[in-house]
Amino acid sequence: MKIALVGGTGDIGTGFAVRWGQKHEIIIGSRNVDKAKESAAVVLQILGAVGNVQGTDNASAIAAADVVVLCVPYEHLASVTTGLLDSYKSQLVISPVVPMTYNGKFFQYHPPAEGSAALLARSLLPKSVRVVSAFHTICAAALQNIGRILKADAFICGDDAQAMDIAVELAGEIKSLRPLNAGPLAASPMLESLTPFLLNVARKNKIKDAGIAVVSERNV
């Protein structure tokens, strides 16, 4: 698959490029082509000869891709998305974007009027584009460390079955994340709000690179 990472020069974008760059064609997007190329070179150094990673501007990255991952901070989601609308055709868009604020004491979920970042993206993107919400509780630092075996679950929600299958497949390729179907895109506020919750728990209890996993308490 060709995967565009919009704002892929940042923390989570680098993590996805490292994890998917051996099997897929990764196109790191940026507002600055040189910055994107530098990021691609860094990821290729990690992956070696098996890596398939390039850098370009966000618009070209989206236009060339089958899957687009929105790797920008929430405050820039609307402007970045509307500014790049011409580049979309019928891609699958994955939103790991979390709208949250920090009041000096703790993190809070702070969604837009649409209900969530993913629903905001859905409202802005062409109808031909399918939107999936995923990866909000996956730690970028852990993703970037290719030797790290992740123990977390990846919660994924969306309205299109085929798009969900692709997102589940991509999550399952990250060793050894467990993809979990969390329902329709309308459930995205619940997924996104797990991140400020997780960060608060991690902070208070001094847990580094925290993640969330659902366990079964059924005795076998």
Ligand X SMILES: NC(=O)c1ccc[n+]([C@@H]2O[C@H](COP(=O)([O-])OP(=O)(O)OC[C@H]3O[C@@H](n4cnc5c(N)ncnc54)[C@H](OP(=O)(O)O)[C@@H]3O)[C@@H](O)[C@H]2O)c1
Whose Cβ is closer to ligand X: residue 139's or residue 170's?
A: 139
Q: Is 140 in the site for ligand X (CB under 6 A)?
A: yes
Select from 48-56, 72-80, 174-182, 210-218 the region that touches ligand X (CB under 6 A). 72-80
DSSP 114: T
2-6 and 67-70 beta bridge pairing: parallel
Candidates 187, 207, 183; CA nearest to 197 is 207
Whose Cβ is closer to ligand X: residue 10's or residue 49's?
A: 10
Select from 18-26, 71-79, 121-129, 156-164 the region that touches ligand X (CB under 6 A). 71-79
The rounded distance, in Å, linking the Cα atoms of 25 and 22 is 8
Least Å from the CB of residue 49 to ligand X: 26
* Residues of span 16-35 touching ligand X by CB under 6 A: 30-32, 35
Answer whether 78's CB lies under 8 Å from 6's CB.
no
Radius of gyration (C-alpha) of the chain in whole angstroms: 17
32: which 2 tokens?
């600055």
The rounded distance, in Å, linking the Cα atoms of 133 and 194 is 13
Q: Which residue in the set 4, 13, 43, 94 belongs to the binding site for ligand X (CB under 6 A)?
A: 13
Q: Is 43 in the site for ligand X (CB under 6 A)?
A: no
The rounded distance, in Å, linking the Cα atoms of 149 and 152 is 9
Q: Which residue in the set 5, 59, 61, 72 belongs to the binding site for ligand X (CB under 6 A)?
A: 72
Residues at the site binding ligand X, with contacts judged by CB under 6 A: 7, 9-13, 30-32, 35, 71-74, 76, 80, 96-98, 135-136, 138-140
